[in-house]
């Protein structure tokens, strides 16, 4: 492929169009995109909505281990030889997701530097988030974990953030994410609202002042 042709490659256009090895599907809220232990044979990209990753233990206990929003990949474990899915991917809300076959994903990563750069940024960001999540679970209280989760859902720290959380996320789901009970989440949400850190106006608005919870000793 010539350099001129490579320069014309648009990663966003690639991830917005159906073609060889790429299909798009709409999933209703709570719809399963793939299940834990299914063959891992494709990478997925969130075009619209949010997707949650849920791990189920042999005893049937479930835990939410990640939430992906628009512009994020998931299921990339297949690229390093992962034979089976380690988690179940479910639509947190109605969403639109692109499926890219493993073969097509490998091809475009090898042939298109612009796409490789985009995907590498995703991996580095995801790795950093996983490390932060681990520290959060090990050392922070459930109140601080909830505050951090709300800030992340509101895109705090990203361009244009924080933004209103228009996705309706139940307190049960928030409890699963931070590893506590729904009554505890309800207690902290009411506390944050009374302190002016968050407000409800048809959607959940998270204010930057919520950062003060993370800075407390």
Q: Whole-angstrom Cα distance, residue 56 to residue 98?
A: 24
Neighbours of 185 (CB within 10 A): 23
- 54-90 pLDDT tens trace: 999 888 888 888 899 999 999 999 999 999 999 999 9
Run means of pLDDT, 10 residues per run, the chain, 217 residues: 59 91 95 96 96 90 88 94 94 95 96 94 88 82 92 78 78 89 94 93 87 81
| Contact by Cβ (8 Å): 151, 211 | yes
189 close to 143: Cβ distance less than 8 angstroms: no
Give domain limits for the chain. Answer: 3-133, 142-214
pTM (predicted TM-score) = 0.78
CATH of 142-214, one of 1.10.3720.10, 3.30.230.70, 1.10.10.10, 3.30.750.24: 1.10.10.10
Q: How far is CA 42 from CA 152, 153, 163, 192, 210, in A?
A: 26, 26, 31, 40, 38
Q: Which fold has domain 3-133?
A: Jelly Rolls (2.60.120)
């Amino acid at each position: 492929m010539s350099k001129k042709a490579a320069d014309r490659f648009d990663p966003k256009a690639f991830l917005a169009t159906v073609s060889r090895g790429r299909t798009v599907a709409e999933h209703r809220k709570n719809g399963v995109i793939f299940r834990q232990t299914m063959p891992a044979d494709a990478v997925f990209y969130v075009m619209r909505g949010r997707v949650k990753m849920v791990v189920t233990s042999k005893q049937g206990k479930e835990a939410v281990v990640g939430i992906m929003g628009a512009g994020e990949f998931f299921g990339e474990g297949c690229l390093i030889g992962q034979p089976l899915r380690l988690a179940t991917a479910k639509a947190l809300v109605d969403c639109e997701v692109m499926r890219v076959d493993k073969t097509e994903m490998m091809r475009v990563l090898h042939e298109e530097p612009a796409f490789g750069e985009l995907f590498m940024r995703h991996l580095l960001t995801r790795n950093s988030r996983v490390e932060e999540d681990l520290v959060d679970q090990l050392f922070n209280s459930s109140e601080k974990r909830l505050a951090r989760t709300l800030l992340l859902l509101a895109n705090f720290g990203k361009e244009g953030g924080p933004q209103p959380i228009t996705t309706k996320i139940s307190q049960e789901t928030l409890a699963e994410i931070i590893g506590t009970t729904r009554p505890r989440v309800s207690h902290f949400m009411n506390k944050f609202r009374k302190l002016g850190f968050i407000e409800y106006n048809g959607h959940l608005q998270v204010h930057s002042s919520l950062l003060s919870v993370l800075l407390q000793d």
